[in-house]
Amino acid sequence: MNHHATRIGAALSAVALVAVGVLATAVPASARPNCNVDDPPPICGGVLDPVVKLPDLTATVTGPATATGGGTVNDTVRVSNISSTLGATARAVSVRITAGGATIAAAAATGWICSIAGSTATCSGGTLANGGSASIPVAVRLPAATTSITLSATVDPGGVIVERSETNNSGFARTAVTAPPLPDLRTTMTGPSSVRGLYAAGVWTITVTNAGNAPASPVDVRWLTNWGGDVNANAVISGAIGFTCTVPPEYMQQMAYCYGTAALQPGASATIVITAVPPAPTNVYGSTGASTVTAMVDYRQSVTESNENNNASTVYSTILP
- The distance in angstroms from the start CA to the end CA of the chain is 152
pLDDT at res. 102: 96
Model confidence at 86, pLDDT cuts 50, 70, 90, reads confident
Give the least confident one: 28-32, 75-79, 95-99: 28-32
pTM reported for the whole predicted model = 0.59
Mean pLDDT value of segment 40-49: 54
Nearest-CA neighbor of 181 among 68, 80, 25, 303?
68
249-267: pLDDT as tens digits: 776 678 899 999 999 999 9
Cβ atoms of 174 and 206 within 8 Å: the answer is: no
Model confidence at 42, pLDDT cuts 50, 70, 90, reads low
H or E stretch at 313: strand 312-320
Q: Which residues contact 27 (CB under 8 A, 6 or more apart)?
A: none
| Common-topology check for domains 57-178 and 185-320 | yes
pLDDT at res. 35: 56
pLDDT at res. 8: 40
In CATH, what number does 57-178 get?
2.60.40.10
Please state, for a pLDDT cut of 90, what percent of the chain lies above it.
66
For residues 197 and 201, give the distance between their C-alpha atoms in angstroms, rounded to a whole number: 8
304-314: pLDDT as tens digits: 999 999 999 99
How many residues does this entry show for the chain? 321
Please state, for a pLDDT cut of 70, what percent of the chain lies above it.
83
188-206: pLDDT as tens digits: 999 999 999 988 899 999 9
In CATH, what number does 185-320 get?
2.60.40.10
Domain ranges of the chain: 57-178, 185-320
94-125: pLDDT as tens digits: 999 999 999 999 999 999 999 999 999 999 99
Instruction: Give the dihedral sign, CA 211/215/216/219.
Output: positive
Give the least confident one: 45-49, 53-57, 146-150: 45-49
Distance of CA 284 to the CA centre of its chain: 47
Mean pLDDT, the chain, integer? 85
Q: Does 237 or 192 have the greater pLDDT score?
A: 192
Mean pLDDT value of segment 266-284: 93
Q: How many CA atoms lie within 13 A of 86 on its CB side?
A: 5
